[in-house]
């Protein structure tokens, strides 16, 4: 939860750019200590430079008065606000505009769960052994119970993670059409005869929601398993990869415009096949690694949750995919697949991936003026956060763009470890231009 103040915002000229670029070109920016050291129509800003927010030819927004020192607002005189013309030589303050409590919008990661929907998820126990046709603890049941809970109330992990990330879920599979191989589809007809398919249907795009539990619960709770495991083709499809690794499908993950981190979580219990060759094979394994490597070039990290095959060959494959998912060499990298052996370990692994993907980045409802970012005041849970100046150690807060701040160092760690963290940002009058609705 983010706590944002509601103090009145400063106002600035409605059009025509800054007066410093027009009416007062060449006069702004000069060093000063008081208003009287600036040219007529300008005031001495908090950065100790002459400036102006308005001019007779460039009025303030909201009908506020432009004072004779180029501030938007009314003149205040009296104790604490000496008038420029008093006999005591008081310093001009001619207008006082309120500091701005800036609204903060957290940049949420997008996390796509890609779930193996093959028949082995029903035929084998979690993590190993024959499940006696999913009675009682096959991999499919355990995975669903972890994600959505045995019942919608209280629900599972996805309900706990609401508000932490924008989440999407896809189940992938294929069918070989062989009625005699003992791995027939359990999906209700009609299904789409395509490979890969997603809960029995052709790929129709992705949906991400910050509060995704109701949508995922309605889809996943009644879902059963299909036949086979075309992991490589499934990754290429959901990411929307072209043959050369570029963007081939505007509905895919790679084409999805996002300011936030994008993460793909692959949950699978066996080695992969290909469309048209559904048995595990070296080409099938290579196709997965290639797809994940190309996915990484689109700034999408891939994590592997391996909940089945424990053979040495499978272990090497899953580790290679995990390495590729983080941009490492598939053979020599040290990322490693995640192998939970209990339902709680599966919960912990998935939860860690999602929470670690969260950012410490926030969008502001305004534009901080160049060179004035250090004048901002940021607090986290009531404690001040220091400004992280360029070249300084990564500690405190920094301005990433004129409308985005980022917490770094211990401040970021505190934010991630605080379920109800309260972050505020305030900038003095003249340091930030509020966004104006069009």
pLDDT by residue (tens digit) across 378-421? 999 999 999 987 777 889 999 999 999 999 999 999 988 876 78
Tell me the torsion sign for CA atoms 186, 225, 162, 367: negative
Residue 377 has pLDDT above 80, yes or no: yes
Residues 6+ positions from 317 with CB-CB distance below 8 Å: 271, 285, 288
- pLDDT tens digits for 138-159? 999 999 999 999 999 999 999 9
Span 215-220, average pLDDT: 98
Residue 243: per-residue pLDDT: 97
Residue 173: per-residue pLDDT: 96
Residue 55: per-residue pLDDT: 87
Residue 306: per-residue pLDDT: 96
Residue 90: per-residue pLDDT: 32
Residue 92 has pLDDT above 50, yes or no: no
Q: Which residue has the tokens 């604490």?
A: 80
Residue 208 has pLDDT above 90, yes or no: yes
Q: What phi and psi, each to the nearest 5 degrees, are found at residue 256?
A: -70, 115
Of 78 and 39, the structure prediction assigns the larger pLDDT to 39
Residue 244 has pLDDT above 60, yes or no: yes
Per-residue confidence band for 338, with pLDDT thresholds at 50, 70 and 90: very high
Complete domains list, the chain, with CATH:
9-98 (no CATH), 108-357 (3.40.50.410), 360-434 (no CATH)
pTM for the predicted model, two decimal places: 0.74
Maximum Cα–Cα distance across the chain: 103
Residue 6: per-residue pLDDT: 30
Residue 62 has pLDDT above 60, yes or no: no
Closest CA to 168 of 359, 363, 354: 354
Of 134 and 254, the structure prediction assigns the larger pLDDT to 254
Tell me the torsion sign for CA atoms 364, 368, 373, 375: negative
Residue 289 has pLDDT above 60, yes or no: yes
- Retrieve residue 52's tokens: 């102006």
Residue 299 has pLDDT above 60, yes or no: yes
Residue 132: per-residue pLDDT: 79
Residue burial 382-417, b: 16+ Cβ < 10 Å; e: rest: eeebebbeeeeeebbbbbeeebbbbbbbebbebbbe
Looking at every residue in the chain, the average pLDDT score rounds to 85
Of 261 and 308, the structure prediction assigns the larger pLDDT to 261
Q: What is the spatial order of strands in the sheet that 262-268 belongs to?
A: 166-172, 110-116, 262-268, 300-306
Residue burial 97-118, b: 16+ Cβ < 10 Å; e: rest: bebbbbbbebbbbbbbbbbbbb
Residue 234 has pLDDT above 60, yes or no: yes
Span 120-127, average pLDDT: 90
Residue 64: per-residue pLDDT: 61
- Retrieve residue 367's tokens: 């534009």
Residues 6+ positions from 396 with CB-CB distance below 8 Å: 378, 385, 386, 387, 388, 407, 408, 409, 411
Residue 286 has pLDDT above 90, yes or no: yes
Residue 129 has pLDDT above 90, yes or no: no
Span 167-184, average pLDDT: 80
Closest CA to 377 of 182, 158, 188, 104: 104
Per-residue confidence band for 360, with pLDDT thresholds at 50, 70 and 90: very high
Of 79 and 53, the structure prediction assigns the larger pLDDT to 53
Residue 318 has pLDDT above 80, yes or no: yes
């Amino acid at each position: 939860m983010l706590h944002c103040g509601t103090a009145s915002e400063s106002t600035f000229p409605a059009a025509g750019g800054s007066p410093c670029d027009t009416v007062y070109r060449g006069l702004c920016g000069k060093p000063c200590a008081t208003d009287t050291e600036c040219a007529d129509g300008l005031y001495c800003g908090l950065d100790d430079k002459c400036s102006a927010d308005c001019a007779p030819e460039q009025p303030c927004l909201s009908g506020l008065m432009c004072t004779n020192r180029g501030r938007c607002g009314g003149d205040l005189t009296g104790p604490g606000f000496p008038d420029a013309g008093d006999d005591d030589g008081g310093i001009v303050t001619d207008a006082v505009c309120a500091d701005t409590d800036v609204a903060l919008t957290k940049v949420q990661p997008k996390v796509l769960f890609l779930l193996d929907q093959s028949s082995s998820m029903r035929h084998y126990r979690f993590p190993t052994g024959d499940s006696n046709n999913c009675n009682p603890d096959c991999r499919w049941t355990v995975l669903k119970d972890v994600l959505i809970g045995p019942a919608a109330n209280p629900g599972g992990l996805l309900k706990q993670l609401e508000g932490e990330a924008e989440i999407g879920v896809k189940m992938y599979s294929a069918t070989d059409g062989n009625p005699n191989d003992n791995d027939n589809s359990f999906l209700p007809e009609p299904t789409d005869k395509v490979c890969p398919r997603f809960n029995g249907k052709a790929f129709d795009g992705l949906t991400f929601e910050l509060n995704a539990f109701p949508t995922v619960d309605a889809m996943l709770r009644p879902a059963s398993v299909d036949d086979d495991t075309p992991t490589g083709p499934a990754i290429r499809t959901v990411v929307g990869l072209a043959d050369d690794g570029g963007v081939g499908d505007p509905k895919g993950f790679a084409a999805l415009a996002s300011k936030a981190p994008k993460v793909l979580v692959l949950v699978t219990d066996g080695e992969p096949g290909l469309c048209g060759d559904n048995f595990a094979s070296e080409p099938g394994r290579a196709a997965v690694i290639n797809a994940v490597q190309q996915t990484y070039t689109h700034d999408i990290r891939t994590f592997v949750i391996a909940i089945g095959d424990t053979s040495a060959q499978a272990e090497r494959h899953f580790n290679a995919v995990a390495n590729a998912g983080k941009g490492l060499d598939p053979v020599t990298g040290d990322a490693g697949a995640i192998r939970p052996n209990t339902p709680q370990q599966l919960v912990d692994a998935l939860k860690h991936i999602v929470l670690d993907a969260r950012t410490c980045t926030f969008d502001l409802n305004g534009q901080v003026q160049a060179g004035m970012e250090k004048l901002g005041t940021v607090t986290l849970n009531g404690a001040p956060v220091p400004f992280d100046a360029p070249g300084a150690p990564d500690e405190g807060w920094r301005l990433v763009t004129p409308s985005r701040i980022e917490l770094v160092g211990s401040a970021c760690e505190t934010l991630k470890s605080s379920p109800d963290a309260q972050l505020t940002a305030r900038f003095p009058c003249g340091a930030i231009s509020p966004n104006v609705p069009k």
